[in-house]
Structure 1
Amino acid sequence: MALENVVQKAKEASQDVNPKKYSMFLASKPVDGDRKWLDVTNKYTNDVAAKVPLATHKDIDEAIDAAVAAAPAMAAMGAYERKEVLTKVVAELKERAEEIAQILTMESGKPIKDARGEVTRTIDTFQVAAEESTRIYGEHIPLDISARNKGLQGLVKKFPIGPVSMVSPWNFPLNLVAHKVAPAIAVGCPFVLKPASRTPLSALILGDILHRIEELPQGAFSVLPVGREDADMFTVDERFKLLTFTGSGPIGWGMKARAGKKKVVMELGGNAPCIVDDLVPDLDYTIQRLINGGFYQGGQSCIHMQRLYVHERLYDEVKEAFVAAVKKLKMGDPFQEDTYLGPMISESAAKGIEDWVKEAVEKGGKLLTGGNRNGAFVEPTVIEDVPMEANARKEEIFGPVVLLYKYSDFKEAVKECNNTQYGLQSGIFTKDLNKAFYAFEHMEVGGVVLNDSPSLRVDSQPYGGLKDSGIQREGVKYAMEDMLETKVLVMRNVGIL
């Protein structure tokens, strides 16, 4: 369908609706009342589909106080109790899966198949957290390392760090919330969550699920849509012991600079490369995975495959097949089952992508397909040989754009993959185990994906980046580690009669 027809269909689907009002959750209780309201739009039709209350400075302060007060009760929960809470969340998510997927599509514009996939991943995330909640192990350590330490031994145990501040992004508004909330519950930390203003509804639904679980101590959590003027409380308030943030690099590093003494975990942007050195196992499968990496969810992912390097012996074959497959991708109504690309999160975001595509071509890149925008829709785009000085090459484009390059030497391709300030994930297709391990050892990223695109993420893996892509790791078990403090009990002459 032509781009103009896609936008016209969206306009025709627009309708007058009575926006549904949602509650925020303050100290575990649903609240609305006399507050400013935030409009949440249907990203396909641009209709106001829902309204959520905006938390005030006073609300945030009360939420932090409640989290501090709830910290002892949260820490005292048995592992079986934390597991039970998480298991109940899993059951409720399964029961409401289609309802939540529909809301995800409405508030974010992602195709319904992708939204259902996000709900499934969220279920996995909470399930893994339920299992890991009973695996917070300590250790016994010998301390009699010399004669002067005779009779000493130690016990090491991990304790919840305390109240956690959470700031989540709009592109995965349910599962990236889950990657903060589920580990916090698993270890026994109260939290205050700020969901993205563009996509707050799925986080509020999660709040609705949590506030019905009696085993969770009162005041243990808050979910607060917040105006820009009050958002910095999540960063600077010293009552929080940990700040966990997912979003853009400039915002994240600025938050870290203001975070004071608290521990900070950040998962930031990327400019993910992928090398195709072999077709694994064949051309069709390789192209399928490259398409997924480049255009899944409109490229609105930190591990979107932005750069594709193909060996010269395969280049013409892969280029032809890849471009042909891109041209077949269907854009349109994200609620339709066969839609692959919905709208971008906003028209301004789409305009930014359009500007960078034009700049890339003006600076020498060859446009192979796509490149056009209408409203919030951007055609899936492939550009060949974009130079380093173009924004589309050196920055994170966060849209349905892939840059295509030819290489001859594998080590030089790895070096070129590293030629960026980002380092989140990379992909490599190869049948050569030595090349696979060379890439693993030399790529400056937090994760290397073998025989798939860099866009692959399993919710139990350690996930995060190097350089400007962040610090520390998410992935339930690994996020839990940052929410725990290690203590040692040093003992002298214990067990000696």
Structure 2
Amino acid sequence: MSTLTVFQAFDRSPAREIPMDDAPTLATKLAAAAAAFKDRDGWLKTYERVAILRKVADLLNARAETFAKQIALEGGKPYPDAAVEVARAADGLRNAADELRNFAGKEIPMGLTPASEGRWAFTTKEPIGVVAAISAFNHPLNLIIHQIAPAIAVGCPVIIKPAAATPLSCLDLVALFREAGLEERWCQTLITDDNLLAEKLATDPRVRFLSFIGSAKVGWYLRSKLPPGTRCALEHGGAAPVLIHSSADIGTIIEPITKGAYYHAGQVCVSTQRIFVDRARFDDFVEVLSARVAALRVGDPLLPNTEVGPLIHPREANRVSEWIDEAIAAGAGRIGGGHLSETTLKPSILLNPPPEAKVSQLEVFGPVVCVYGYEDFGSAIEAANGVRWSFQASVFARDIGPALTAAQRLEASAVMINDHTAFRTDWMPFAGRKESGYGVGGIPWTMKDMSEEKMIVLRR
């Protein structure tokens, strides 16, 4: 049996070696999941699913420190932020359980025409079928929760493939479901670094729903390969814009902007990346931002005071460095930056990089923020919208008029007013537009996607 070596993100030392699945193993797991769904008499009752989700939440809380350290180890997220991820994951499990109190169909009016007289119609909710979930590395526990908790809540068998770089949190979470009494056929893992095997999972005709979190290139490709009738949800990335109006208070906005830009070293799909500042406030803003960024504590994510940790792999650190160098060669100014280790970059601020530069057009996914000066607020909105990606955005202003104008005109699924672009709660809708995604995430919305309504009509 082949094995997968999991490395510590910060120093690249081996953390654990785990067995990988092969094609025959995947075939066995798909057969088990399909059989579980076909056996309607064996479906878990709603109260049983509620009890399992709540039990896992309790087990996760009891082992919160262990999970937080593991997230920091395998994914490189600083320990304080990893601890928050664990708390959110436990709350997400409870969210899924609580949502079942209101997860129901509705009555359809009859008797509105002579032909519908004497009938009573209503809908019920049913699980859609086998769910294939492919996840990303940057939130190795909470992303898994967002994919498998809704499936278990509505009664779908799920097979989850974690990122090859960060499988440990997923494996340990699924073990908690076993401990809570969930049979293996309802929640299985696929551990592999073989993209073709992952594609076989995603495109198997027995799979009725694909949940994919990762690169746009892979996600849209997989969607094109899905069998007829298979639904999907895709969550990709963006190049999140921030508009700073002339009325904004520079002193109070730096902290949320810094958090939004450098949280998890910028490895978040809605990380603040492009900041548009009124030209009259540009120098003041850059001065205050650069001072705050210079004070960020960068290094080992297992240390309790670290604010910015490593990137997931040396090749990612090298790629981000190359994009920065390209922007500088094209005329951008630079503040900060540089390598701390082969995976760890010091935070950078790029000043007025060209619109055509990669850092202006593509998702950087690193500790880099671009700052652009503008003369006209309307043109800043136009520039913010001028990329292929559209996810979350934000505007900072003390005047309500410009704030609402930006909220209406920014091409985004969510616009934060006086908060950073990476704000999220796990019960709110979360969706990419344009090339940034397909479908709507968030636990209640995912539960809806993983179910189907059936209408029943009774005639007297």
TM-score (norm 2): 0.96
Structure 1 residues 123 and 285: CA distance shift in structure 2, 3 A: farther
Residue in 2 aligned with 1:70?
36
Match for residue 309 of structure 1 among 257, 272, 276: 276
Question: Which residue identity is paired with 1:139?
Answer: K
Counterpart secondary structure, 1:314: helix
Residue in 1 aligned with 2:300?
333
Match for residue 277 of structure 1 among 232, 235, 245: 245
Q: How does 1:157-196 map to 2 (within 5 A)?
A: 157-196=124-163
Counterpart secondary structure, 1:51: strand
After superposition, give the CA deviation of every residue in 1:349-404 in whole Å (9 maximum; x if it has no partner). Answer: 00000000000111121113325564111110001111121111111110000000
**Ranges in structure 2 where 5+ consecutive residues have no aligned partner:** none
Q: CA deviation at 1:42?
A: 1.2
Q: Does 1:155 align with 2:122?
A: yes
Question: Which residue identity is paired with 1:99?
Answer: T
Q: CA deviation at 1:74?
A: 8.9
Contact 1:39/1:50 (CA < 8 Å) preserved in 2?
yes
Q: CA deviation at 1:127?
A: 1.5
Q: CA deviation at 1:186?
A: 1.1
Residue in 2 aligned with 1:47?
13
Residue in 1 aligned with 2:236?
268
After superposition, give the CA deviation of every residue in 1:196-251 in whole Å (9 maximum; x if it has no partner). Answer: 0000000000011011122x245111112123141211221010100000001101
Match for residue 190 of structure 2 among 224, 245, 252: 224
Counterpart secondary structure, 2:103: coil
Q: What is the CA–CA distance in structure 2 between the aligned matches of 1:151 and 1:83, rounded to whole Å?
A: 37
Runs of 4 or more above 6 Å deviation: none
Q: What is the CA–CA distance in structure 2 between the aligned matches of 1:490 and 1:195, rounded to whole Å?
A: 42
Q: What is the CA–CA distance in structure 2 between the aligned matches of 1:74 and 1:467, rounded to whole Å?
A: 42
Q: Does 1:56 align with 2:6?
A: no
Contact 1:171/1:301 (CA < 8 Å) preserved in 2?
yes
Counterpart secondary structure, 1:487: strand
Q: How does 1:80-159 map to 2 (within 5 A)?
A: 80-159=47-126
Q: CA RMSD in A?
A: 1.6
Contact 1:278/1:429 (CA < 8 Å) preserved in 2?
no
Counterpart secondary structure, 2:238: coil
After superposition, give the CA deviation of every residue in 1:238-281 in whole Å (9 maximum; x if it has no partner). Answer: 1010000000110111111111221010001111001122676x
Q: What is the CA–CA distance in structure 2 between the aligned matches of 1:186 and 1:108, rounded to whole Å?
A: 27
Contact 2:239/2:390 (CA < 8 Å) preserved in 1?
yes
Q: CA deviation at 1:462?
A: 0.3
Contact 1:79/1:134 (CA < 8 Å) preserved in 2?
no
Question: Which residue identity is paired with 1:232?
Answer: E
Q: CA deviation at 1:159?
A: 0.8
Q: CA deviation at 1:301?
A: 0.6
Match for residue 458 of structure 1 among 425, 447, 452: 425
Contact 1:70/1:217 (CA < 8 Å) preserved in 2?
no
Q: CA deviation at 1:117?
A: 1.3
Structure 1 residues 298 and 144: CA distance shift in structure 2, 3 A: same
Residue in 2 aligned with 1:6?
none
Q: What is the CA–CA distance in structure 2 between the aligned matches of 1:286 and 1:452, rounded to whole Å?
A: 8
Q: What is the CA–CA distance in structure 2 between the aligned matches of 1:434 and 1:138, rounded to whole Å?
A: 40
Is 200-209 or 78-87 further displaced after alignment?
Answer: 78-87
Counterpart secondary structure, 1:114: helix
Counterpart secondary structure, 1:232: helix
Counterpart secondary structure, 2:207: coil
Is 37-46 or 287-296 further displaced after alignment?
Answer: 37-46
Match for residue 413 of structure 1 among 373, 380, 383: 380
Q: CA deviation at 1:488?
A: 1.0
Contact 1:55/1:227 (CA < 8 Å) preserved in 2?
no
Q: What is the CA–CA distance in structure 1 between the aligned matches of 2:63 and 2:246, rounded to whole Å?
A: 42
Contact 2:152/2:186 (CA < 8 Å) preserved in 1?
no
Identity, in percent, stands at 33
Question: Which residue identity is paired with 2:15?
Answer: A
Residue in 1 aligned with 2:322?
355
Q: Does 1:370 align with 2:337?
A: yes
Counterpart secondary structure, 2:122: strand
Structure 1 residues 338 and 164: CA distance shift in structure 2, 3 A: same
Between the two proteins, the alignment pairs up a number of residues equal to: 457
After superposition, give the CA deviation of every residue in 1:19-46 in whole Å (9 maximum; x if it has no partner). Answer: xxxxxxxxxxxxxxxx211000112221
Contact 2:327/2:357 (CA < 8 Å) preserved in 1?
yes
Question: Which residue identity is paired with 1:121?
Answer: R
Q: CA deviation at 1:490?
A: 2.4
Counterpart secondary structure, 1:426: strand
Contact 1:74/1:188 (CA < 8 Å) preserved in 2?
no
Contact 1:234/1:243 (CA < 8 Å) preserved in 2?
no
Contact 1:279/1:286 (CA < 8 Å) preserved in 2?
no
Contact 1:243/1:263 (CA < 8 Å) preserved in 2?
yes
Q: What is the CA–CA distance in structure 1 between the aligned matches of 2:250 and 2:42, rounded to whole Å?
A: 52
Q: What is the CA–CA distance in structure 1 between the aligned matches of 2:268 and 2:125, rounded to whole Å?
A: 33
**Ranges in structure 1 where 5+ consecutive residues have no aligned partner:** 1-34
Contact 1:74/1:217 (CA < 8 Å) preserved in 2?
no
Structure 1 residues 87 and 163: CA distance shift in structure 2, 3 A: same
TM-score (norm 1): 0.89
Q: How does 1:312-323 map to 2 (within 5 A)?
A: 312-323=279-290
Q: What is the CA–CA distance in structure 2 between the aligned matches of 1:436 and 1:77, rounded to whole Å?
A: 48
After superposition, give the CA deviation of every residue in 1:277-306 in whole Å (9 maximum; x if it has no partner). Answer: 2676x4343100010011011000101101
Q: CA deviation at 1:440?
A: 2.8
Contact 1:195/1:203 (CA < 8 Å) preserved in 2?
yes
Q: What is the CA–CA distance in structure 2 between the aligned matches of 1:473 and 1:253, rounded to whole Å?
A: 15
Q: What is the CA–CA distance in structure 2 between the aligned matches of 1:347 and 1:58, rounded to whole Å?
A: 33
Q: Does 1:469 align with 2:427?
A: no
